[in-house]
Each structure stands twice: as C-alpha cells, then as structure tokens.
Amino acid sequence: MSEISLIERVGRELGQSAPDVPLYKRLKSAIETAIRSNAVKPGGMLPGERVLAENLSLSRVTVRKALALLEEEGLLNRRHGFRTEVGSRVEKSLATLTSFSEDIRARGMEPGCVWLSKQISRPSPAEMMALGLSASAMVVRMKRVRTADGQPIAVESSTVPTRFVPSPDLVRDSLYEALAARGFMPQRAIQRMRSRAASSEDAAHLHCEAGAPLLVTERRCFLPDEQIVEYCETRYKGEVYDFVFELQR
C-alpha cells in the first residue's frame, strides 16, 4: 500500500470518528486501525510527520501526539533522523528471544537487575577478538547482577562497540531495547555454554562459595548483515555442560 492511499484511508477513518474526542486520540485510533488491518506491514515505514500533517490538514503537534501514543503502545518505532517504522511489541519481544527477562518470566518469577558498572573504554584483547575490533575502537561495557524474585542468579558482562550504542546512559534496563531504538536489532547469535569455577568476586555477587561450578555462556550477536554487535558473557549458578547453539529470531 502506497503512502498516499494509506493517508487517504486514515483520513476517511478520521472523518468518521466521533467529533467530541480529541483529534490526536482519533488520529491515533485511525492509524492503529490501519496498522492492525495490515494496511502497513510491520517493518514498513510510516510517512514523515510533516507529510502526514499536511495531507491530513492537521498540525504536526497533533500528529506527533498521536504517534507518541502509538509508540508508547509499542506499535511504532521512531528513530531520530530516520523514519517511523511499524513494528508490534510482540515482534520486539520475539527478537529478544535471548532476553534474560523473558526467560525468567517464563519460569514464573520476576526478573530484575543490579548494575555493577557501566563504562566506556577501550576493548580488552578478548573483546577485540570477539567483536572483531581494532585497538583504536571504543566500547561500552556493562556489568550487572541478574536477579529472579530478588535472588541473584547470574553475573552478566555485555560489551557493545560505541558505534552501536554510543553511551552507556542510553541503556536503562534492556540492552536490546537500546539497540533496537537505534535500529540495530541482533538477528542471529552464537552462544557457547560451559562450566567454570566461581571466582571470589562471582561468589560474592551470587551468594555462593568461591570455586562453586557456574554455567558460563558466551554469546556473540550478529546483525542481519553479519556485523558483530554484542559480546556477552554470563555466569549462572547452575548446570554443567559445554554446548553451542545458534540463536535466531
């Protein structure tokens, strides 16, 4: 469906809506209907805010208010300087199949995390190797304790080149959300799992004894164009095995 016919459709929808509801809410509903009826496919682009405003004879403020609501609901994904993309929240969470939070929720517990550090620095030798970076590159390194129902169950270190996430402050709870917001959605990952003894530091964070066996996962995440976007090492209290699998959305 072309941009013009989409706008016409939204325009008709808008005309038929109750006039005592605020315009921006009516516009929001109209666009939502268009999306849900698949007039724009997920992954497709919405017309620019200026185009929408002009063709619907609305002000940009109104259009932006409507889009803001839709983005909050997860139906849209806006990117500064790029465009506004259609993408449902359900798909977002599918793409983060590897997400710790989902894993924990699926087991009926409440996920949480405590940040140990967020820093921007040069990559370590291992990180250079894993991410394919030269020494002059910069990375954002984040370390946190993952919890389930408040109990610590893993220590996780994520490293991302600043090219993809320029500042650690952009990451709130979910690294994947920060990546997605900038248009870098990992599509494939290679993950290795094996066991290792807990260091005294690990032990302190995980409330276990030093030397206790941990399940260690190493993960390299790839963008659709095979660029390496993240290197992540997680040390879980748990099982013992050595296994590699491929993660795909």
Other Cβ atoms closer than 10 A to 11: 17
Is the Cβ of residue 190 or residue 204 nearer to its own copies in the bound state? 190
Q: Which does 97 bind (CB under 5 to 8 A by kind): DNA, its own copies, none?
A: none
Among 14, 39, 51, 223, binds DNA (CB under 7 A): 51
Q: Does residue 217 contact residue 241 with C-beta atoms inside 8 Å?
A: no
Binding to DNA in span 52-91, by CB under 7 A:
57-62, 64-65, 67, 78-84
Sole binder of DNA in the list 46, 70, 145, 228 (CB under 7 A)? 46
Q: Which of 182, 188, 192, 194 binds DNA (CB under 7 A)?
A: 182
Which residue number, 82 or 115, has a Cβ lying nearer to its own copies?
Answer: 82
Distance, in Å, from the CA atom of 109 to the CA atom of 101, rounded to the nearest integer, reads 9
- State the number of binding residues for DNA (CB under 7 A): 28
Least spacing, CB of residue 74 vs DNA, in Å: 14
211 counts as binding DNA under rule CB under 7 A: no
Residue 132, contacted partner among DNA, its own copies, none, CB below 5-8 A by kind = its own copies
Measure the CA–CA gap between 77 and 21, rounded to whole angstroms. Answer: 25
**Residue 192, binding choice from its own copies, DNA, none, Cβ under 5 to 8 Å by partner class:** its own copies
Choose the stretch contacting DNA; rule: CB under 7 A; options: 21-29, 122-130, 141-149, 241-249: 21-29
- DSSP-H helix ranges across 58-185: 60-72, 89-95, 100-106, 125-131, 175-181
Is the four-CA dihedral 191, 197, 201, 202 of positive or negative sign? positive
State the Cα–Cα distance between residues 95 and 43, nearest whole angstrom.
Answer: 13
- Region of 201 (left: φ > 0; alpha: ψ -120 to 50; beta: rest) is alpha
Distance CA 162, CA 122 (A): 10
Strand ranges (DSSP E) for 73-199?
Answer: 76-78, 84-86, 111-121, 139-148, 151-161, 188-197
Which of 37, 183, 207, 244 binds DNA (CB under 7 A)? It is 183
- Minimum Å gap between C-beta 217 and DNA is 26
Q: Which does 243 bind (CB under 5 to 8 A by kind): DNA, its own copies, none?
A: its own copies
Q: Which residues bind its own copies (CB under 8 A)?
A: 125-126, 128-129, 132-135, 188, 190, 192, 194, 218, 220, 222, 225-227, 242-246
Dihedral sign computed on CA atoms, order 114, 216, 231, 246: negative
Helix (H, G, I), strand (E, B) or coil at 53: helix
* Shortest CB 78 distance to DNA, Å: 4
Find the Cα–Cα–Cα–Cα dihedral 162, 80, 44, 97, rounded to 10°: 40
> Site residues (CB under 7 A) for DNA?
22-25, 46-51, 57-62, 64-65, 67, 78-84, 182-183
